């Protein structure tokens, strides 16, 4: 059942990509789309590298967020002057291990999206030109134990679409209180 859902999710993403912008073989060869798989496929490392490359902004939506390397990279981006903002699922208020408190204590604006049964997005929008998405939760288990996928997509039009959706969720999100 889970494998079928993952397959459908990947297919849906690929269909949306093809419909939202012309994906040519040259785009793939130029590295505009990078694909990673876990366990042990370098998803966390790829995310950290993209955050480290951020010049102006990193916007995050996450269902589960316990990855120390990703949280540290976001705090470092914040410290070097990039605008970093995070929206998390309401479960992060009560989870025993979460990066929400760490991020908020470091001054990263952190919000909770409690309007939905679950806020299951797992995305980052970097500098309004790169999108990180996929089934990959920002957790150690996702990197080490789970079968998950991650796409890093360089495309301003797609980033604009994700940004519009991120802003809609930000409108109804509540500031995280630690």
| Enzyme catalytic residues | 120, 122, 127
For residue range 62-82, what is the model confidence (pLDDT) as tens digits? 988 899 999 999 999 999 999
| CATH number of the domain where residue 150 is located | 3.30.870.10
Q: Confirm whether 73 is domain-assigned.
A: yes
Q: Confirm whether 12 is domain-assigned.
A: no
User: Taking the CA of residue 162 as centre, how many other CA atoms within 13 Å lie in the half-sphere pointing to its CB?
Assistant: 29
For residue range 11-51, what is the model confidence (pLDDT) as tens digits? 555 555 554 444 443 344 344 899 999 998 999 999 999 99
Q: Confirm whether 11 is domain-assigned.
A: no
Mean pLDDT of 158-170: 96
Q: Confirm whether 65 is domain-assigned.
A: yes
What is the span of the domain harbouring residue 31? 24-175
Q: pTM to 2 decimals?
A: 0.81
Q: Confirm whether 71 is domain-assigned.
A: yes
Q: Confirm whether 34 is domain-assigned.
A: yes
For residue range 115-158, what is the model confidence (pLDDT) as tens digits? 887 778 899 999 999 999 999 999 889 999 999 999 999 999 99
The angle subtended at Cα 163 by Cα 103 and Cα 115, nearest 5°, is 65
List the one residue out of 106, 62, 66, 107 whose CA is nearest residue 87. Answer: 62
**What total of structural domains would you count in the chain?**
1
Beta-sheet pairing, 83-89 with 57-62: parallel
Q: Confirm whether 2 is domain-assigned.
A: no
């Amino acid at each position: 059942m889970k494998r079928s859902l993952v397959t459908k999710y990947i297919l849906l993403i690929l269909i949306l990509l093809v419909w939202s912008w012309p994906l040519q073989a040259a785009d793939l060869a130029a590295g505009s789309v990078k694909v990673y798989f876990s366990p042990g496929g370098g998803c966390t490392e790829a995310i950290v590298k993209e955050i480290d490359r951020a010049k102006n902004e990193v916007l995050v939506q996450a269902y589960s967020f316990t990855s120390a390397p990703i949280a540290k990279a976001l705090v470092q981006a914040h410290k070097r002057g990039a605008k970093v903002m995070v929206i998390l699922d309401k479960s992060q208020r009560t989870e025993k291990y979460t990066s929400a408190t760490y991020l908020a204590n470091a001054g990263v604006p952190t919000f909770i999206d409690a309007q939905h049964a679950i806020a299951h997005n797992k995305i980052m929008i970097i500098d309004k030109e790169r999108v990180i998405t996929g089934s990959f939760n920002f957790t150690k288990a996702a990197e080490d134990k789970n079968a998950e996928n991650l796409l890093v997509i360089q495309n301003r039009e797609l980033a604009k679409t994700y940004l519009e959706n991120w802003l809609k969720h930000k409108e109804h999100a509540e500031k995280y209180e630690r």
